[in-house]
Structure 1
């Protein structure tokens, strides 16, 4: 069976996620109504024929609906094979499957798959009625037999193996969600270069780890890909939880004059509890029935770009209320500050993953996808691309920004742009990186600027002693810079990413414009000529 995304994309006029094929007389008002409602709650667009099937042939509009669906679910019930309409519908579904690669999922509802395959048992008795009516149309009967045999051989769900209908429906919905995710992955999947291994590692931990409540921290410098990684994980595993929510750009919302975190919180609980009428006052969060309802749910929540613990406390009503979620729940936190993750209550600290810079080869691939629309540089651009790769030094955001900036430009324009970069950092990259700097106090900023301008690559003890002599509280200051991914201690050397060093120097350069030819860097009162 062809089920690749390329095959699915060949289906003309795709309009629905799922087409439901069933015999209404058997299951319209019970099983099928519950299954359709469960699919709709997951925002899966279904086609369900609510009209009584009184004709023998399927209508053109119904045929179009089958063609325009990504997946067909065929529910075989005892009376399914007694309906010429249903069998013609099945033939059409399998025709689209074989022509375009549409996925077909059979559900054997109170019938045995072998009875559908061989037209035996009570299911076969239903088909015998149809055989008697159309005994002169041998070819048509054979077509129906072949269709039932083919469908029964597909992987599906047997209600005899799952006695509880609620569990059966949950299993079907989760399977459909996974298939749809596989068919139509995130638009950013082509940007997931070099981070596949960390995504798989975190997913494995979250899905197969302890049944207790657990948190995962994703940490690294601005633009390193934390949000991209968290988004991919959320997309891949959210269907395994009863409720899920991705809270993006928490830092930006918290900085607005009228904090958007309160509305985030209402939306969070409204989504998790599937309650569109929720109205929660800030002082009353978690003090009512909503908290008890949450305690019965296994949830997945992503807190993206968190800068202080108070943001999480406001969103869920206090860190102690992490316990309000059902065992097996998971929380993912992305941050630039590893100290924030250390401040979570001890019983909730899970794994912390530091996102590293991309390798040269992965950097070249990601840059090429954005600059050339392919996995490698265009002819004549390899050396110019090499300059960009070395300049960026493995930061995905910068690779994407510069790739898109240079896309479609001539070699001369590339050379001019790179010459400009040697003097002035790209504004979009600078803006992202500077967020961490802006979050420092004055002394921490001064220490950062001094390291960027003078001490990158120097011995740690020398830098510490020198800055201590200048009146700084250097040990705690440098520790803060390390926690916020602004500097690193490697082999007793203090260093930082080239883009961060460039950012620091650009900050000093901008300050020098206010006092041409001179700028005070830290408290060293050192004149820097530009």
Structure 2
């Protein structure tokens, strides 16, 4: 099975894991539609075939490994499917390594039976024809899944008597858990870079115009940090938004520009997938589909004019109020493209060691928020189950407090370094 030593960039907000033979798959279908309408990018596919050696196909592995949240529809049909069980193993591996949020839906399955592999669970698993090491790791995966915070369909329906409310509450739960698309929120202090403030003001002034701004500067001078922070502050005001990282490097791969065009369209059209066969076709589709949409686009690390012409060739491609931010090391590209304003990042290089603690800390904050909200909603569950979740929350809060202290110390150290540099510069004038 494919593996990564570090988490790849996020492509999807939500991945649905379910059996295509399951009569209850309508739950994932309706939830999927509701999430897409809300601007959340999902992966849901009923083409479920294992390759030789019980391997998941490459596209599906990558979809799982680039999703922030996984929804599992755990049912007897799910347990009878070697395909679904292999998916479950990979999903839980991503949860362990990179903090993926996993939300199980227990349909006609008792989590206690799942943990002990008894009753209907044992009956469903008995239909499996594969044994050996496969059976051993599926068993461990199912026991781990039984301890996750999730939705008990039987208990919920007994209380609320409404399938539509069940789907609606799951959808809202996922929306609450969702991290803003294409953005890992930075808590690194960027206030030492004055152009961040001016850039925000400039974008607000041209609220009804299609504005293109450029951020220039050498490597590790804060260009991407500034663009991400601005994006995070304004993305909700647009019909669609896209943050394309590493444009220059990705465009040099085979069909690189075509794939970037497909990614841009998918982001801006709320997950709709359009097959692009050439850069020329991609340009035409961009012009046709986005001319009436107010969009926010960030093209990060551009190094060639061809990339700009293929992705944001003209302001006329986009609806009124659209904003485009371009980051690059090559200032001349911005002038040739005739951007409305150029900002030059003057920040100090970002310390690598801060990034090593930021992501685990942010994931821990997100898990704590999800756990707190979920525990409050468990009025219909047993005291033992709630106690287990509260213990889990307490452990997570302890870990989070240690991480928060480290982040605070690193930020204070970096701010002191910045202040010292400013003082040194002033004495040299």
TM bucket normalised to smaller: 0.3 to 0.5
Q: For CA contacts below 8 A with separation 6 or more, give which structure has more relative contact order.
A: 2
Larger radius of gyration: 1
